[in-house]
Chains A and B, each alone.
Chain A
Amino acid sequence: MAGRAAEALRAWGAAGPEEGRGMPVPAVCLAPALLVMAVFALALGALLRYSLFEFIPGSLRTGGITARNFRQLAAPQYLRAIWDTILLSLATTILTLLASYPVAYALARGRRGGLRSLLLVLTLAPFFTGAIVRTYAWILVLGNSGFLNTLLVRAGLRETPYQMLFTPQGVLVGLVHFSMPVMVLILGAGISHIDPTVERAAASLGANPIRTFLRVTLPLSLPGVISACVVVFAWTFSAFPTPELLGGGRVKMIANVVKDLALDSFNWPGGAAFAALALGTTFALVAGFARLIQRLQPAGHR
């Protein structure tokens, strides 16, 4: 299998679009990656195996093999958690893309080095604060007596606080903030790989900056957009601390339900079944998502 993969890589190198890009890859180089994949596969196998054991309430012991754990997942509350997760992940991906593209563009194409450095620092800063700290900061901003509501009430725009915390909208804000650094970095890398002479050629042929962006830069940045969207979608799909803290128990995503089942109800087989179902759903959605966007790409990028 390793030999075949190496062969395929060699063939890709030989047929690569740029001369001299293909490098022979010895099969042994793939061994560490294959080992890691094997460990992951084993862990997933163990998860699937556990999901088939019968749960005995009030006991840590499990019963015989059963499909009951999966049948129970058809209950409305679990289906709703899956549906909410899909919607929140989609909304997060779209909003993060819209918010991140201008930042990534400025990072890649900005002429002032100081501004670019500042943007880079601001983009990377959230990475150093950790998910919990970032999420707690949003509690202070979105809460009934938080920064935004205090501002709204003092400005006379609202008599009573506007409920932002513990709502899907509040969770969405936190998820977008959480995902932005990743999206900006991937998009920035994508945009910076676009040859600037192409944009200059469009300008020299009379296209104004907006037309150049819409007809040249944006289409050429689509591979980066696709990669970033797939990563952010998958990353949001497994979000835990943001919905846990900003959702106040009312907004539950898949990871929260897995925790509910496995850790709060001691129902480890049920938690394993839900995690397996979630994993399958993620794979299917990401594959479908990537395929759909691939179809939308210009022929040259296929």
Chain B
Amino acid sequence: MIAQRRSIPMLAAALLLAALGPRAWAAEPLVVSTWGGNWKDTIERVVAKPFTQKTGIPVEFEVGGTLDRLAKARVAKGQPLVDITLTTSHVGRLYISDGLFQKLDMAKLPNARALHKEALRSDAHIGVWAYVYTIVYRTDQVKDEIARWADLWEAKYARKIGMPDFDPSHIITVSALLEGGNERDWQKGQERLKRLKPNIAAFFSTDAQSQDLMKTGEAPIQVMLSVNGFHLQEQGLPVKLVTPKDVGGIVGIDTMAVMTGTKKAEAAYQFINLALSQEIQEQLVQGLKAGPFHTKATVPAKLRGQPGIFTTPQEWKERGYIMDDEVRARTLPAWKEWFNATIVAK
């Protein structure tokens, strides 16, 4: 009798497992390292869910800041805790410098053939979406239209501007470009940038801080991530995103890469290939308000022509400026040191 009682639940469990099929319980999850908040939610909804439906492989996420995750990856070198990493294109260079990303086998990424050339950042990481750092301002607090980067230097904007201090590369490059230089000879823009000091109200270290400064009006003009600007608009804040007429927005590209030493490389390639497909790229544009890389991706009408949304080679060329990833990764420490000593310090 007892044996019979035991055998019933065991039989039920066996039947349940058989019904679910082998993939549901045998597959090990694919682990994706990404940023938290809307980034993770969108990737989970737009990429991970169809990926699991298609392959039966569940997806788990490890979330964190760009550099926290880099530090973790470095500590786990050789036996990575994650299989795919999403990171910015220039920080991707740091991963590559330490051999943390494996060289991509492009034959396993057929969807990459239909991407704008700007997506191909190196032989180890590939762009999945783009955005810009540009001027975003509160239209209820700033009466005159801001149309150019050079406008930020006007005296009427004293103590109105906010900008990131964790990465000053955007404003340093803009200053250099306005003085006829670029990120390589950034020193050309130093004097100009010094003249911007009286107009700076605050520096921020995180996207959340940036948005708070905009909401509270502490810094109603900002050098801001376009994605965050769209997010504020959705929340009903009267902000305008500018496509500067003198120098385009400074382009940021988020990339995906397969970790060296992963045992799930095949699944990782499938995941990345799916993320690069036309359909998923279109959904990513809607979810993140970031620009697609797929040349055939359709962009919603209200986003067409907006900062960071590039759909043609001409738009890529004219409306954005892409820094050299390697120069940026190599020079950022020097930029930070100079910026902190000269611009942040009183």
The answer for the CA separation of A262 and B71 in the assembled complex, in Å, is: 10
The answer for the CA separation of A59 and B217 in the assembled complex, in Å, is: 38
Cβ distance B75 to chain A, nearest Cβ, rounded Å? 11
Interface: A263 (CB within 8 A): yes
Question: Is the Cβ of A80 less than 8 Å from the Cβ of B204?
Answer: no
Residue ranges of B at the interface with A (Cβ–Cβ < 8 Å): 65, 67-68, 70-71, 74, 93-95, 97-98, 100, 159, 165-167, 201-205, 209, 212-213, 216-218, 326, 329-334, 336-337, 340-341, 344-346
Interface: A75 (CB within 8 A): yes
Cβ distance A69 to chain B, nearest Cβ, rounded Å? 12
Given known pairs A249-B165, A264-B336, the reply for A61 and B98 (CB within 8 Å) is yes
Given known pairs A58-B97, A250-B346, the reply for A139 and B333 (CB within 8 Å) is no
Q: Which of B165, B218, B332, B341 has the most CB of A within 10 A?
A: B218
Chain A neighbourhood of B340, CB < 8 A: 77, 252, 260
Tell which of A18-26, A103-111, A143-151, A205-213 binds the partner. A143-151
Chain A neighbourhood of B100, CB < 8 A: 60
Cβ distance B338 to chain A, nearest Cβ, rounded Å? 10
Pairs across A and B, CB under 8 Å, 10 listed: A57-B332, A58-B93, A58-B329, A60-B97, A77-B341, A80-B345, A143-B216, A145-B218, A146-B216, A263-B67
Cβ distance A60 to chain B, nearest Cβ, rounded Å? 4
Partner of A249, one of B202, B217, B332, B334: B202
Q: For chain B, what secondary structure do more than half of its interface residues adopt (helix, strand, loop), or is it mixed?
A: helix
The answer for the CA separation of A61 and B159 in the assembled complex, in Å, is: 40
Chain B neighbourhood of A267, CB < 8 A: 333
Question: Is the Cβ of A266 less than 8 Å from the Cβ of B204?
Answer: no
Interface: A172 (CB within 8 A): no
Question: Is the Cβ of B336 less than 8 Å from the Cβ of A265?
Answer: yes
Chain A neighbourhood of B205, CB < 8 A: 244, 249
Cβ distance A176 to chain B, nearest Cβ, rounded Å? 21
0/1 interface trace, chain A 131-144, chain B, CB 8 Å (1 if under): 00000100110011
The answer for the CA separation of A244 and B203 in the assembled complex, in Å, is: 10
Interface: A253 (CB within 8 A): no
Chain B neighbourhood of A139, CB < 8 A: 212, 216, 218
Question: Is the Cβ of A248 less than 8 Å from the Cβ of B333?
Answer: no
The answer for the CA separation of A234 and B240 in the assembled complex, in Å, is: 45
Q: Which residue of A lies closest to B65 (CB)?
A: A263
Question: Is the Cβ of B202 less than 8 Å from the Cβ of A266?
Answer: no
The answer for the CA separation of A286 and B98 in the assembled complex, in Å, is: 40
10 closest A-B pairs (Cβ-Cβ)?
A249-B203, A58-B330, A248-B202, A60-B98, A265-B333, A59-B97, A249-B165, A77-B341, A264-B166, A263-B67
Chain A neighbourhood of B202, CB < 8 A: 165-166, 248-250
Q: Which residue of A lies closest to B202 (CB)?
A: A248
Given known pairs A77-B341, A145-B216, A250-B344, the reply for A57 and B204 (CB within 8 Å) is no
Question: Is the Cβ of B216 less than 8 Å from the Cβ of A250?
Answer: no
Chain B neighbourhood of A32, CB < 8 A: none
Chain B neighbourhood of A55, CB < 8 A: 333
Chain A neighbourhood of B212, CB < 8 A: 136, 139
Question: Is the Cβ of B203 less than 8 Å from the Cβ of A248?
Answer: yes
Chain B neighbourhood of A145, CB < 8 A: 216-218
Residue ranges of A at the interface with B (Cβ–Cβ < 8 Å): 55, 57-61, 75-77, 80, 136, 139-140, 143-146, 163, 165-166, 244-245, 248-250, 252, 260, 263-267, 270
Cβ distance A49 to chain B, nearest Cβ, rounded Å? 15
The answer for the CA separation of A252 and B343 in the assembled complex, in Å, is: 13
Q: Which of A136, A139, A140, A264 has the most CB of B within 10 A?
A: A264
Given known pairs A58-B329, A264-B67, the reply for A140 and B216 (CB within 8 Å) is yes
Cβ distance A39 to chain B, nearest Cβ, rounded Å? 17
The answer for the CA separation of A143 and B212 in the assembled complex, in Å, is: 11
Question: Is the Cβ of B333 less than 8 Å from the Cβ of A166?
Answer: no
Chain B neighbourhood of A252, CB < 8 A: 340, 344
Q: Which residue of A lies closest to B213 (CB)?
A: A248
The answer for the CA separation of A76 and B346 in the assembled complex, in Å, is: 12
The answer for the CA separation of A140 and B216 in the assembled complex, in Å, is: 8
The answer for the CA separation of A245 and B216 in the assembled complex, in Å, is: 14
Question: Is the Cβ of A57 less than 8 Å from the Cβ of B333?
Answer: yes
Chain A neighbourhood of B201, CB < 8 A: 166, 248
The answer for the CA separation of A143 and B219 in the assembled complex, in Å, is: 11
The answer for the CA separation of A55 and B94 in the assembled complex, in Å, is: 13
The answer for the CA separation of A55 and B330 in the assembled complex, in Å, is: 11
Chain B neighbourhood of A61, CB < 8 A: 97-98
Given known pairs A60-B94, A80-B345, the reply for A260 and B216 (CB within 8 Å) is no
Chain A neighbourhood of B216, CB < 8 A: 139-140, 143-146
